[in-house]
Amino acid sequence: MDQMISKVSKFAPTNEFLLQGSIMENAHDVLLHRLRGLCDNSDSPFETFTDNEMIFSMKNTTITQALNLRVRHSLIEQDSWQVRYAGMAEMGDKNRPTMVRHVIDCSTSDNIVLFLNELGFRMDHEFVIKGFYFHKGRMKVTVSKIYKMNQPGNTENLEPFSTSSLVELSVVTQQSGGEGIAEDMKSFSEQLKPLVQLEKVDHRRLQNI
Amino acid sequence: MADNEVERLTQAISLTQKLRTSVTRVFSDLSDGYHISQGNEKASLNVLQKALLTVNDNYSDLEKLVPNLNSVNITAPNSALVGIDPVYDKTPIYSQITHAHKWTNKVHKLADYASAILSPNQLKRTHQGGQPLAIKRQRKTPHAHAIPPQGVDQCISALERLWSDMPITLSRPMGNCAVLQITLSRTLRALIVLRGLLIESVIVKAYSEDFLTPEGKVDLWSRSRYQVFNKVTDMVTAATLHFCHPQMPDLSLRSFLVWFNSYKTLFSAPCQKCGKHLQGAFPPVWRELRTATPQHDGCRQT
Amino acid sequence: MMGVVCVYAYNIPEGKSGQQVVDSLQKQMDIIGATKTGNFCVDCETYQSHPQNAQQRSIHILHNSEQPATCFSVLDSGTVLVSDMLFDLIMNTMTQAKSGREGFFQQRKGFKIESRGQRYELADFVIKIGSVSLMANFKGVLIEVEYCPSQVPGDCWNLMKEILQSIVGNTADTPPSYIKTKMDSLYTPADTINQYLEHFNAFRKTATPGQQNR
């Protein structure tokens, strides 16, 4: 079992490089067209996604930091449930252009919510995220809007958090791979420069707000 | 004006012909050789010189005439194409022709083999010939294979209402022929290709399998990956010949489906003859044509 | 291959060792005409929640070589989560000791159990003969028979009974207790895992049989 874990962890994509930014409503379409030109499959129509994401956390009396797991399922395609563990993003120093964090992304059956509840996890919060995604080689870019659910469990009654959209550029690689990908991401983000600034965001400072 | 044109053209053509003859004469004389008699070399050279001068004169006449000619617009397309030099590398006409020729030869050869193999088989779905014309007029020509699509749709929807556990989906992925996808009560799935209302082919697969190609289109050919369903496919194909009546197509289709419905007990019913469920690791794959009772393949033959 | 699976424990007669039983079963396979197609392994690892957690619960993580990219996680309540192999890693993070403290779950020592052996195929049947070992101690023999074309246990139980009786004898008079409740529903690989877990739990409770370890 331990050998299996070490084998899986060597080859599994668990390293994520991340850059985030935001764009206002009036420039949203311009950004979409520019991304369509820059990314792969520019002749096919925009690829959209609508997902419901729930964050579950488990607390313990001895362990101060709660363990968070994110469960995401698509509202368009049935039978696609994923659970994700995301570690804390490291900012690194000025030389590192992107944030790096340890992620484990796993597809599961549709009873994951029941399973986590029985395991002791409690749902902390949830939201619906709707947007477009593009990919260029290994890089994935999403432009999406986050919606608040007015009633828990009801994905119809939505209210957007704000009119701006979140733009994220991410690459997931294996533990050992990833040299040079940060520079590629940096040069890609330069091409989006006047429209949107993709940069490292310190998540720890956000939590203290 | 036009007459002048024509005149000048005819003149130009006759001058070109004259030029041609003189040039040909020079070369033929040169190749034949001159009969040189002693002391008469100069005479042969003179002959050559005269011939070359004629060539020159003809050429200059033609040159004088040409500037007065208008260029003619060739509007007749075929003759224009004569002047076009085809790029033989880019048009693969020759290779395509040889390929089509080989293919037709092969089709002929295989059709000959097929007819030689099939002709001893007495089971035919359509009966042709052998009857004098008088009697033929009394029979209706079978038209079951040529029923219009609306007729087929109506017939199938009427049949589907008869069984609650056998939903039938009709589609036309390849033009006019209807393709029915039948699900029989969580036991199996079948795909029937119809020509009009006559059954062309049947494929039976497991409940967990589907009839789609990797691209998502309807797959009419691939067989099941389980041996029992391949046996069932063979049995059902043999039965389609029994249930085929070109004169009463909807009755034949209905009786076939009634018989086929008995396969919902493929795994649960024991064989009628030996009483067991398994024979050589297979369940009873045959259903009696008249009574629809289950039998093993081996028990059927005894 | 999503067929209906029945798992039975083979009663080892007095005076015979596990190896002898497995050999005689393998000979039986050759007699009925099955062909050997490889090896298989079903293993189970158990984790228990930390005493400091609010509720005590155990979670079993099983793998089946028949579904090599899948990881099954079973809770005491019977809920089975079917996921990628990466779920192992998530479980690992939940158990890892961080900064000197214990994780949320602990691996229960001495509970790793597995059934390993040969896989045979006969027409549309898949038969597996596995010897069960708990931490390298031999515990018993498990026989698994799968009938691939069918997905409803109620339909094909009688059919499977015939072939099972020729292999395990009278133990196969009734369907396995887990299947009895599911005769009319569609069978899934998670049901196979539940059957194995039932047998593994039973084996964990028994003492090692008097015969030698393998």
Structural domain includes residue C213: no
> Could you tell me if C125 and C90 lie in one domain?
no
Tell me the mean pLDDT in the region C121-136: 91
Confidence band for A87, pLDDT divided at 50, 70 and 90: confident
Q: What are the phi and psi torsion angles at A165 (to 5°)?
A: -115, 150
CA distance C211 to B173: 65
**Cα B12 to chain centroid, rounded:** 54
Is the CB of residue C162 less than 8 Å away from at least one CB of chain B? yes
Best of C147, C150, C156 to disrupt the B interface (most B CBs within 10 Å) is C150
Structural domain includes residue C212: no
pLDDT at B74 (0 to 100): 57
What is residue A90's DSSP assignment? B
> Could you tell me if C162 and C56 lie in one domain?
no
Domain final position from C91, C107, C123: C107
Structural domain includes residue B90: no
Structural domain includes residue C214: no
> Could you tell me if C47 and C28 lie in one domain?
no
Q: What is the dihedral of CA C170, C175, C176, C177, to 10 degrees?
A: -120
Residues from chain C that touch B278, judged by Cβ atoms under 8 A, are 159, 162-163
**Nearest residue to A163 (alpha-carbon basis) of A3, A18, A27, A46:** A27
Asked if the Cβ–Cβ distance from B282 to C123 is below 8 Å, we say yes
CB < 8 Å from B in window 168-207 of C: 186
The nearest alpha carbon in chain B to C150 belongs to B187
Confidence band for B248, pLDDT divided at 50, 70 and 90: confident
Confidence band for C206, pLDDT divided at 50, 70 and 90: confident
Interface of A with C (CB under 8 A): 1, 4-5, 8-9, 12, 14, 58, 60-63, 65, 67, 69, 83, 85, 104-109, 111-112, 114-115, 118-120
CA distance C131 to C24: 13
pLDDT at C100 (0 to 100): 44
pLDDT at B107 (0 to 100): 96
Structural domain includes residue B42: no
Residue pLDDT, tens place only, B55-77: 899 889 888 888 877 776 656 66
Residue pLDDT, tens place only, C20-57: 999 999 998 998 889 999 999 999 988 887 766 667 78
Lowest mean pLDDT among A112-121, A130-139, B77-86, B248-257: B77-86
Confidence band for C212, pLDDT divided at 50, 70 and 90: very low
Beta strands in A1-155 (DSSP E): 13-23, 47-58, 67-74, 81-86, 99-108, 122-136, 139-149
The nearest alpha carbon in chain C to B284 belongs to C159
The structure tokens listed for B38 are 């002693």
Average pLDDT, chain A: 84
Amino acid at B72: V
Residues from chain B that touch C162, judged by Cβ atoms under 8 A, are 276-278
Nearest-CA distance C44 → chain A (Å): 9
Domain count of the fold of chain C: 2
Tell me the mean pLDDT in the region A53-64: 81
End-to-end CA distance of chain A: 42
- Measured CA angle at B131 (ends B129, B135), to 5 deg: 130
Residues from chain A that touch C93, judged by Cβ atoms under 8 A, are 67, 85, 104
Confidence band for C98, pLDDT divided at 50, 70 and 90: very low
Lowest mean pLDDT among A77-81, B108-112, B120-124, B181-185: B120-124
> Could you tell me if C92 and C175 lie in one domain?
no
- Domain extent, residue C189, equals 4-38+115-206
Average pLDDT, chain B: 84
pLDDT at C210 (0 to 100): 43
Structural domain includes residue B28: no
> Could you tell me if C158 and C55 lie in one domain?
no
Domain final position from C50, C77, C107: C107
Domain count of the fold of chain B: 1
Q: What is the CATH number of the domain that holds C162?
A: 3.30.310.180
Confidence band for A5, pLDDT divided at 50, 70 and 90: low
pLDDT at B83 (0 to 100): 56
pLDDT at A145 (0 to 100): 92
Above 0.90 for ipTM, yes or no? no
pLDDT at B119 (0 to 100): 86
Structural domain includes residue C198: yes
In this structure, are strands C4-10 and C80-84 parallel, antiparallel, or unpaired? unpaired
Structural domain includes residue C121: yes
Confidence band for C83, pLDDT divided at 50, 70 and 90: confident
> Could you tell me if C122 and C27 lie in one domain?
yes
Structural domain includes residue B64: no
Q: What are the structural domains, with CATH classification, of chain A?
A: 14-201 (2.40.320.10)
pLDDT at B126 (0 to 100): 63
pLDDT at B32 (0 to 100): 85
Q: Which of A81-95, A167-181, B93-107 has the highest mean pLDDT?
A: B93-107
Residues from chain A that touch C104, judged by Cβ atoms under 8 A, are 58, 60, 63, 67, 120
CA distance C36 to B91: 56
Nearest-CA distance B138 → chain C (Å): 50
Domain final position from C67, C90, C107: C107
Structural domain includes residue B109: no
Residues from chain C that touch B283, judged by Cβ atoms under 8 A, are 159
Lowest mean pLDDT among A174-178, A196-200, C72-76: A174-178
Structural domain includes residue C55: yes
> Could you tell me if C151 and C167 lie in one domain?
yes
Confidence band for C99, pLDDT divided at 50, 70 and 90: very low
> Could you tell me if C149 and C126 lie in one domain?
yes
CA distance C130 to C141: 6
> Could you tell me if C102 and C135 lie in one domain?
no
Of the candidates C33, C156, C162, the beta carbon closest to that of B268 is on C156
- Domain extent, residue B189, equals 149-264
Chains that touch C (3 or more CB pairs under 8 A): A, B
Structural Rg of chain A based on CA atoms: 18
Of the candidates C57, C85, C87, the beta carbon closest to that of A119 is on C57
**pLDDT value at B302 more than 60:** yes
